Structure 1
Amino acid sequence: MSNFTQNSAGSTGVRPAVRVVAGHPSADGAGVKIHRVAGFQLKDLSPFLMVDEIRSENPDDYIAGFPPHPHRGIETLTYMLSGEFEHQDHLGNRGAIKQGGAQWMRAGRGIIHSEMPHQPKDGGSTGMHGFQLWINMAAKDKMSKPVWRDIQPEQMREIMLDGRGSKIRLIAGQWQVNGKSEDAPLLEAAAQASVADLRLAAGAEVNLPLPAGHTVMTYVYSGALDTGHGVVNRGNLVLFGDGESLQLRAPDDAPDVGTGMLILRGSPLGEPVVHYGPFVMNTREEIEQAVRDYNNGTLTD
């Protein structure tokens, strides 16, 4: 893994890889083991705040889940590659997502929810592999009405890129793929946050036009990414500089499973970020108010 220093786009307008942000082991909820990239104080990652990856074949690592807890001021996007999670919240929403599905939640002024592993009826375990993204909300929207919805696998827009199995699955936002404009099933995310799951066969390459001015990054979850300035292995996030397109390539010696990564992009907010536990606001006073509201039982009023 390398730290890159190139900061400007080349003559072709391709965004250069400029920095690697390493993930690290952590735990959250009731002891769920995760791999985390935290970017609360990294302004160049805005509007994204955090990437959590859950990946284990051992139920002891995740079975306790995330019991009821509050949020204010953010959106979350949960996406599952394997295993199932069930969401419940104080609004009465309830739904489980399985392999290939996603859930989006706008906490807004306040929501209390739980996220628990949904075990197979036969008691067996298929393991758990998925992600949760935290997306910041603009100050003007942080006290908006909370919203939740799920996106089942059959709703996803999946597009083949070559004859070797390379493909892209569109989760959120609008994309240009194979010369065509494509809409993902989720278009409501804050700050034009857009998310896609890209799988590349060994040696395969893709070029995606992306809006100038957007923050663009990839989180590598399998195989490795050949950036042209160094190879980045799974569990790390690559931040890209300015440009009009994103060129991504899997190394020639990538394993049979190829390279898998999340592509994240969005409009940077340029606002102060103050973070405390499940709350993300713009000032310390707003955080203190969120804590008081939760303790007083008025967070969701």
Structure 2
Amino acid sequence: MPAVSVSDLTVLPRVPALSPVATQRPVVSITSAPSSFEGEGFPVKRAFAGVDLRLLDPFIHMDEMGEVDYAPGEPKGTPWHPHRGFETVTYIIDGIFDHQDSFGGGGTITNGDTQWMTAGSGILHIEAPPEHLVVSGGLFHGFQLWVNLQKVDKLKAPAYQDLRSSEVGLVTSADGGSLLRVIAGDVGGVAGPGSTHTPMAMVHATVSPGGELNLPWRRDFNALVYVMSGDGFVGPDQTPIGTGQLAVLGAGDALRLSAAQTQQQRYAAGLDVVILGGLPIREPVAWAGPFVMNTRAELVQAFADYEAGRLGQPIVHGDVGGSL
């Protein structure tokens, strides 16, 4: 897995021990992500399918993209598409993706990089594998998270953050058996590089077989754990959880994860998870396709603005470079 790895976890700072009065977050629900296809036909798992938006708040949607090993000629991306009213966070674990927008922004993200796009008032966007990857084929794996914006921020000017793998905060568990890659927020005293409008934390954690992770977690945040691969347990009662499943956790100020001692051969690295938490916005959500607003009238306006070209026009690849 090319996403950031460390050969010797003992050189990293460790998550501080939990307070003796810390309350472990209980498991509210565990759901399994259905498989689907996105864009021009690349496979995804809908991580939040079937979960009440009120439990996800401030998050809206998350797709795990792949893991897929493309044959030559098979890699696919998305056509030009609009966004308004939220942020997209695209994290690439394996592979490479080019992105471009209707205002001349764009770039390339690869193993362990994150592209954080504030769609704000509206933008057209395209994501695609580079031509050399289409020709050669290869492994592709990542995920895209949609983070809601408060009403006051929904019409901000679009902006990008290109977060490189070298910037990711690194910390290990108290037992030295877990690697945490902190992309946003402050986790275990280590800050991620992502600057967020909505207070939140995002972590990619790998828990080695038999390892345990006890993680302090802000009480005013929600807490979600999505398993990309492996078998393990979550919560104070150590409820079983496995590949493609999402755990929604209840109130508390700590969360507990552990990896099964015996893993299937293809999951030899242990339990690989995305841990998310954020401060709920608690505003009305009106969501249709690529737009996330507060009212139906705002959605109607978003579609009208898109049809009228007020979110910009597609740019021929290579015509404009740089970033917002």
What TM-score results when the alignment is normalised by the length of structure 2? Answer: 0.83
Report how many aligned residue pairs link the two structures. Answer: 287
Match of 1:53 in 2: 64
In the TM superposition, what are the counterparts of 1:57-206 in structure 2 within 5 Å? 57-59=69-71, 63-118=75-130, 120=132, 123-161=135-173, 166-176=178-188, 181-186=189-194, 188-206=195-213
Equivalent residues of 1:174, 1:184 under 8 A apart = yes
How far apart, CA to CA, are the structure 2 residues paired with 1:11 and 1:75? 36
How far apart, CA to CA, are the structure 2 residues paired with 1:283 and 1:61? 42
Q: Could you say what the CA RMSD is over the residues aligned between the two structures, in angstroms?
A: 2.3
- Is 1:240 paired with 2:252? no
Match of 2:319 in 1: none
Equivalent residues of 2:200, 2:221 under 8 A apart = no
Farther-moved stretch of structure 1 (248-257 vs 15-24): 248-257
How far apart, CA to CA, are the structure 2 residues paired with 1:204 and 1:62? 37
- Is 1:219 paired with 2:198? no
Instruction: List alignment gaps of at least 5 residues for structure 1.
Output: 1-9
2:34 equivalent among 21, 24, 44: 24
Report how far residue 54 of structure 1 moved: 1.2
Report how far residue 138 of structure 1 moved: 0.7
Percent of aligned pairs sharing the same letter: 35
Equivalent residues of 2:102, 2:311 under 8 A apart = no
Distance of aligned partners of 1:167 and 1:251 in 2 relative to their CA distance in 1, 3 Å threshold: same
Distance of aligned partners of 1:68 and 1:62 in 2 relative to their CA distance in 1, 3 Å threshold: farther
SS in 1 for 2:127: strand
Equivalent residues of 1:218, 1:264 under 8 A apart = yes
How far apart, CA to CA, are the structure 1 residues paired with 2:133 and 2:223? 40
How far apart, CA to CA, are the structure 2 residues paired with 1:202 and 1:19? 24
What one-letter code is carried by the residue in structure 2 that aligns with 1:145?
Answer: A
SS in 1 for 2:305: helix
SS in 2 for 1:269: coil
Provide runs of 4+ in structure 1 moved above 3 Å: 38-41, 59-62, 119-123, 160-165
What TM-score results when the alignment is normalised by the length of structure 1? Answer: 0.89
1:34 equivalent among 44, 51, 73: 44
Match of 1:5 in 2: none
